[in-house]
Structure 1
């Protein structure tokens, strides 16, 4: 392993800019993290509102078919097919904070183009696809910068709490956003909601720009080395690490199943079950409550049972809602009094499981990897996830066309179960937060 930063403050080490000593600090008292959290929170609120608008726009305004819906879902991750590993390697050498500011501004402009397209009667499947693709590129750069940036804002011992705080605020936004989005769609229509999201992203960029943090510039590559060597080093580190390997495989399988249910749930509820738009927003809002509860419990669960078992618990809970939807004979003729509670309960459990596992998974990953490999380790896992999501989203449309929604959702539930089994039969199940320095941090 080459060019790995040391742990000394000022050397670009994780947590070098955060307070030290004692137990985990309340991360919202760290000024840099408070700004990062604020920017992330309002961005999540705007995204939750815009998410409802996107689904309504796709289904009701442009009248997309199931195949077109799967294509639009896949386009958001196409950039990862071509740029994911490259951008991850670049983020281990670029400053991450300016990248977050620039990408927020870019996404604001992209979303603001949607009302313009509507007003000029230019909104169709192809123009919307171009916007989605642009957002995918910008999100790739933003994600590649955000994950390795967080360890610069708080100490390693506080990473789970920091991720939990981010998860809590995101799910509060997920609770309020869909309900607000469903109401606003009725009042002003979907296009104007994208104006709201553009303004939100502009404010987020302003907050992000106020963060003061020292990011050490990496040394130039040794003679004879190029970006391909950096990428290969990151991949070797990730897939030869005895803890990161099973974690990566499990999350890859999770993303395959997630791509199916994410692609199909909206059209399944709105079209197959004929759920009204206001009820659909309410269902997603209940999911937000589950995510908040899961993120609230995540630090305590991770501390009590360990990182590995906390992640495993989340994986197991994930199976239940989708298996239930696959087995229940729900149709458009089913009473709303039954449909809404069942769909809301499914979203609640699904989000609950994510809230528990996400903070523990991300905190563990960020604490294991040295700073000089953070971008590449995260990019390796994330790029594979997005590639899998791309093909899974396309597969979702095909399977739904051939087998129907219910059978396809049942297949996703089975894949979620396999993702849990990977952890059961690996050393990751015994991993605990704080043992990162006692396990092998180098390839084996």
Structure 2
């Protein structure tokens, strides 16, 4: 897939991305959808527990259905995104999600929402989300000058962080005020508006070159893997982020239980700590472009990876327990969350932007799918192993293992050419 490129892609300086009409529409659609999804997630949890009355095993199945499409379809859909119109894919998936969300209040009012219907909804949303996310990352370089990719991804990261922080609180309030059916009506409207905004983006996408005789989608997938894992800087970037996801699978499984059960933090204190993490992520996304421009993409990613070690090592070595005063617990856990959010804010914008800029448009979908799908496979099995790890070592030691894994992710960059990579090199 080729296109003429967005205005400014021929090498002009970095611009304020929200002044670019195409990106402004894309950012607005993504932002309102992010807030809506954060609100809907709260309503989903309430439905699962109160309406469906799901057992722990059923809750695990419902959560797994959101990830399952990546495991089975991630590579295939990534290859399709290098041959399909990405804008059309975004519009159709937004319409599809609007229809699915509109179906939920109908099922609620008719009394037909049960485990199996909710499982079908979760699986359908998972597939639609996979298509949308597979189209989004390759689409951004088509509407933003490559010199402004870091700024664009930082803007998207800021919106995502604010939505993830404020959305759940808004969801809880709306759930109390209007109830679950109207929340899902609201969510359907948001996705319909998102589809309209995405359809108004002006971008030129030309058809990809036809496959040579004897080639099929399997060859496309392998070509994407070869490009990713043979590239001198993409290979260490991919390997580093895979290792990072292994560490993240441990902390995502362990942290909430450690804070709420082992340390005895009340829900309000845990919520404050998580919100402080959102503040750190927002700040990291704000400074990410300046950090990347000043020290280079590779070192900016390395700073983020290295900083990720600190919060989990802190929680592993500081002697915390349910007997620790609440003030100390809240301060230590909040500091850890702030540092973790800050690290992700700095590294994400530089990581994603470097990937988008270094890869030719014709292979963007497959390169992103190779990295994203492998990340989720690692996370899936890492989360399963984390339960065994906690049983064997306990909570604090398991967080120490996660810190060690994050350190390995940083070391992959230290001992690779990625360390010296800069935005603007090799077509970046």
Corresponding residue number in structure 2 for 1:220: 210
Alignment of 1:179-328 (within 5 A): 179-185=169-175, 187=177, 193-273=183-263, 275-328=265-318
**Equivalent pair of 2:247/2:406 in contact (CA under 8 Å):** yes
Given the alignment, which residue of 392, 414, 418 partners 2:404? 414
Alignment of 1:70-149 (within 5 A): 71-112=61-102, 128-149=118-139
Q: Tell me, what secondary structure is at the counterpart of 1:76?
A: helix
Corresponding residue number in structure 2 for 1:12: 3
Distance 2:393 2:114 in 1: 28
Given the alignment, which residue of 129, 148, 154 partners 1:158? 148
**Equivalent pair of 2:138/2:364 in contact (CA under 8 Å):** yes
Give how far 1:328 is off.
Answer: 4.0
Distance 2:195 2:256 in 1: 30
Corresponding residue number in structure 2 for 1:369: 359
Distance 2:331 2:172 in 1: 17
**Equivalent pair of 1:17/1:214 in contact (CA under 8 Å):** no
Give how far 1:38 is off.
Answer: 0.4
Give how far 1:182 is off.
Answer: 4.3
Give how far 1:124 is off.
Answer: 6.3
Give how far 1:26 is off.
Answer: 1.2
Unaligned regions of 5+ residues in structure 2, if any? none
Distance 1:123 1:204, change over 3 A: same
Give how far 1:183 is off.
Answer: 4.0
Give how far 1:424 is off.
Answer: 0.9
Distance 1:421 1:99, change over 3 A: same
Tell me which moved more, 334-343 or 183-192. 183-192
Aligned residues: 427
Distance 1:333 1:52 in 2: 31
Give how far 1:370 is off.
Answer: 0.5
Corresponding residue number in structure 2 for 1:28: 18
| TM-score, structure 2 normalization | 0.89
Distance 1:267 1:118 in 2: 31
Unaligned regions of 5+ residues in structure 1, if any? 6-10, 439-444
* 1:173 paired to 2:155: no
**Equivalent pair of 2:311/2:339 in contact (CA under 8 Å):** yes
Deviation sequence 1:286-311 (CA, Å, 0-9, x none): 22211111011101000111100100
